Structure 1
Amino acid sequence: MSFVTVGGEASSRPTFFELVAADRLLPSLKAAIAYSLSVYAQRRPSLLRLLDHEDELFFLISAWLHRGSLRASDASFAEGLYALRRVPAARRGAEEGAGGLSPQQRISTLALLTLVPYARAKLDGLHGRHAPQLRSLQALGLQPPPAPAARGADGLADGWRRLALRAFLRGYPCVVAVHEGSRFLYQLLYLLGRSPHYAPGLHLLGLTVARLLEWWYTSGEQALGERAALTPPPPPPPLAPAEGGIQLPDDAALCPLCRSERKNPALLAPTGYAFCYTCVHRHVSEAGACPVTLEPVKLEDIWRLYPGM
C-alpha cells in the first residue's frame, strides 16, 4: 500500500493525507473565527450579537470562499489551497484540462459544502440543549412529562412539537452514527485504493478529487529518482609507479610492502594504491611518501577501506 504515487495517471490521485488536511481546514477556521470574536467582544460588547449567530456568520463566510474558489479552479476553498480540484468521475484519466464542472455541478457542490455543515451545526446545537434534560430524567427512572391535553389548535401543535422533539433526541444520535460511519468507510476504501471517492458526498455528485498541478508533485520526485538511478563515475586511475619505488606484486590482493594478503586494507588517497593499514602507516610516518610513486603524502591521506568498497 502506497500513500504517495508518482508518475502516470495515478499521479493525479491525491494522497489520503492531503484530503484529510483539506477536510480539516474549514472547521479549524471556524474555531479560529469564533475565538477571535470572543476576544474582541471583551472590548466591544456589540460583537456578542455575532457570537450568538456564529453558525450563520460562518455559513456566509464559507459560502463566499467556496463560491470564489469553485469559479476559479473547480475546487472548494480548502482544496484550492492544497492545489486540488474536483473533476467528474467519468472524465478521470482524460486529457488534462479537458473540461471542468458544469454550472449545475458547481451549484450542487456549493450547497453540499455550505448547507450540510450549517444544518449539522444547528442540529448539534439543538440536540446539545435538550439531550441533557432527557438523559437526567432517564437516569432517575422518570419519563418526560406527557403532552398536555389538546385544547384547540395551539394545544395540538404543542403536543406534536414535544413528540417531534422526543423523537429527534432519540433518533439523531443514530443518524450521526450512520453518517460518520459512512464517511469512515469511504475514507478507508479510498486509503486502500478500492474507491475513487473520498467522501459519500463526492460519490453522490459523481465527482472525484484530483491534483491541480501534477508537475508540482512529480517533477521533484522524478528528479530524485533519476538522480538515484545514475551510476557513480569510476575512480581515477592510480599514478604510475616511479623509478626507485617498490615493485607491485603480481597478485592485486597482496600488500606491496609486506607481500602478503592485506590486513585492515587502507588506501593512499593521492596515489590510489592499497596496503595493509599498519604497513602504510609505518612507511608514511617514516618516509612521508608513497612507497610506489614516491609522491609526498601525509598520515591524513590514509583512508581505511571497508568490505564492498
Structure 2
Amino acid sequence: MAVYAAHLTRTLQGTPSIFQVTAQEALGTTVKPALRKLIEYLAEVYPDKCGWCVPWYDELYLLFDCCLQYHYLKHYAASFSESFYGLLRVPTTVSSEFNPGNLRLPEMLEYGSVALLVLVPYIKDKMEKIVDRWREDDEDGRLGKSKPDRARKAAIKIYAIVHLVAKSARLVQAARYMTGATRSHCPELALLGVSLRDAPLLHRDTYTWTGFFKNLLTGQFRGAAVSFPMVGGAVLRGVQYGAFVVQLLRWWDARAASHAALQPPPAPQPDERAVRWKNKCPICLQTWKIPTVLPVSGYIFCYVCISRHVRARATCPVTRCPAAESSLVRLYVD
C-alpha cells in the first residue's frame, strides 16, 4: 500500500504540457459539430422520423453531453476529452473531501465542472446566434433608431468587447501556465479551483478487454460501464482507421472510373408548385425582394422570408429538408 500511495502521489504531481491541454480542448470542441453532421444526414434521409432533431439539436446535445460529462467526472474525475488524453482534475487547494485513491472530486466541484463543461457552452452558443442575427440585421440596415434597435446595437458592441476580454484572459492564463505561475491553464478552471494532472498509470491500466467482456457476460453492467473510456478509445481509433480506408477507396474508385463513360443524369421532372410559384416567393407569394436561393432545395425566396423561416424551423418550407441560415445564397439579378 505504501508503494502504491507513493507512486500515486508522484503521478498526481505531474503537470501536463500546454500541448496536452490544448489537444483535449480541441477534441471536446469537435464532438458537437461531428454529431450535428450525423443528425443532419439522418434528417435528410429520414425527414419524417428525424427531421425534428435538427431544430432541437442544441437541446438534445445538451442532454447527451450532460450525461456523458457527469459519468466521466463521477468515475474518473475528468471530462470525456480529459480522460481520453489521460488527465484528471484535482483541487488546487488541499481538500479533505478529495480522495486520490478512488479519484473522486468533491460533490460541489463535480457540479461546478458539469456547469462549466455543459451549461456555459450552451448559453454561449445561444448568445452567439442571437448576436450574429442582430449583427446581420445591422449590416443590412434593418435596425433603426428605436429603443429596442439601439439596445441591440449596444449589445453587439458589448458582446464584442466581452469576447475580446475573454480571449485575452485565456491567452494570459495560458502564458502564466507555461511559465509555471499558475496551476490552471484556463480562467474557468482557475475560477473553479481545479487544475489538470496526469492520471495514475495504475488507474489507466486497471480495466482490460477480458474484464469488460466478463462483466457483460455475467450481467455486471455497472462494471462494464466504468470501463467505457477503453471502449471509447477503441471506437475512436476504429473511426480514424475507417475514415482513412473510406478515403482510400474513394480515391481508388475515382482513379479507376472513366469520366467519359459516365452517362448524364436524367433531367428533373417539373414540379407543379414550381410552375405556380414562378418568379414568386413560395412563402409570401409576392415578387422576390432580395432574391435568395436555398441550395438544399433550389427554391428562391425573399431574403427576409426565408431567413426568418430557417432561423425558426431550420428546414426548407417547401421540401422540409434540413437547412441552415449560413447556407443561404443571395442572387443579384437585373
TM-score higher than 0.5: yes
Once the two structures are superposed, the pairs formed by residues 99-110 of structure 1 within 5 Å of their partners are 100-110=104-114
The one-letter code sitting in structure 2 at the alignment partner of 1:209 is L
Q: Is the 8 A contact 1:75 1:84 kept in 2?
A: yes
Tell me how far 1:164 sits from its aligned partner.
3.4
- The alignment partner of 2:197 has SS state of strand
Distance 2:72 2:203 in 1: 20
Residue 27, structure 1, aligned to residue 14, structure 2: no
Residue 134, structure 1, aligned to residue 141, structure 2: no
Distance 1:81 1:127 in 2: 34
Tell me how far 1:9 sits from its aligned partner.
6.9
Aligned CA distance change for structure 1 residues 44 and 9 (closer, same or farther; 3 Å): closer
Instruction: State which of 168, 173, 181 in structure 2 corresponds to 1:186.
Output: 173
Query: Would you say how many aligned residue pairs link Structure 1 and Structure 2?
Result: 193
Q: Deviations over 1:270-292 (max 9, x none)?
A: xxxxxxxxxxxxxxxxxxxxxxx
Aligned CA distance change for structure 1 residues 56 and 206 (closer, same or farther; 3 Å): same
- The alignment partner of 1:86 has SS state of strand
Distance 2:20 2:203 in 1: 14
Worse-superposed segment, 29-38 or 83-92? 83-92
- The answer for the alignment partner of 1:68 in structure 2 is 71
- The alignment partner of 1:75 has SS state of coil
Task: Please identify the structure whose Cα radius of gyration is greater.
Answer: 1
Tell me how far 1:8 sits from its aligned partner.
5.3
Once the two structures are superposed, the pairs formed by residues 11-50 of structure 1 within 5 Å of their partners are 12-46=14-48, 47-50=50-53
Distance 2:34 2:62 in 1: 14
Aligned CA distance change for structure 1 residues 39 and 98 (closer, same or farther; 3 Å): closer
Aligned CA distance change for structure 1 residues 99 and 69 (closer, same or farther; 3 Å): closer
The one-letter code sitting in structure 1 at the alignment partner of 2:26 is R
Residue 146, structure 1, aligned to residue 148, structure 2: no
Residue 52, structure 1, aligned to residue 41, structure 2: no
Once the two structures are superposed, the pairs formed by residues 154-193 of structure 1 within 5 Å of their partners are 159=147, 161-193=148-180
Q: Is the 8 A contact 1:75 1:86 kept in 2?
A: yes
Tell me how far 1:216 sits from its aligned partner.
8.9
> TM-score, structure 1 length as denominator?
0.57
Aligned CA distance change for structure 1 residues 75 and 54 (closer, same or farther; 3 Å): same
Tell me how far 1:88 sits from its aligned partner.
0.7
In proportion to residue count, which structure has more helix? 2
Tell me how far 1:166 sits from its aligned partner.
2.6
Residue 196, structure 1, aligned to residue 183, structure 2: yes
Distance 2:182 2:26 in 1: 21
Runs of 4+ in 1 over 6 A off after TM superposition: none
Q: Is the 8 A contact 1:108 1:205 kept in 2?
A: yes
Aligned CA distance change for structure 1 residues 95 and 75 (closer, same or farther; 3 Å): closer
> RMSD between aligned alpha carbons?
2.7
Once the two structures are superposed, the pairs formed by residues 208-227 of structure 1 within 5 Å of their partners are 208-214=195-201
- The alignment partner of 1:210 has SS state of strand
Q: Which runs of 5+ in 1 are unaligned?
A: 1-6, 138-142, 148-158, 218-309
- The answer for the alignment partner of 1:112 in structure 2 is 116
Tell me how far 1:146 sits from its aligned partner.
2.6
- Fraction of identical pairs, as percent: 24
- The alignment partner of 2:45 has SS state of coil
Distance 2:81 2:68 in 1: 9
- The alignment partner of 2:93 has SS state of helix
The one-letter code sitting in structure 2 at the alignment partner of 1:35 is K
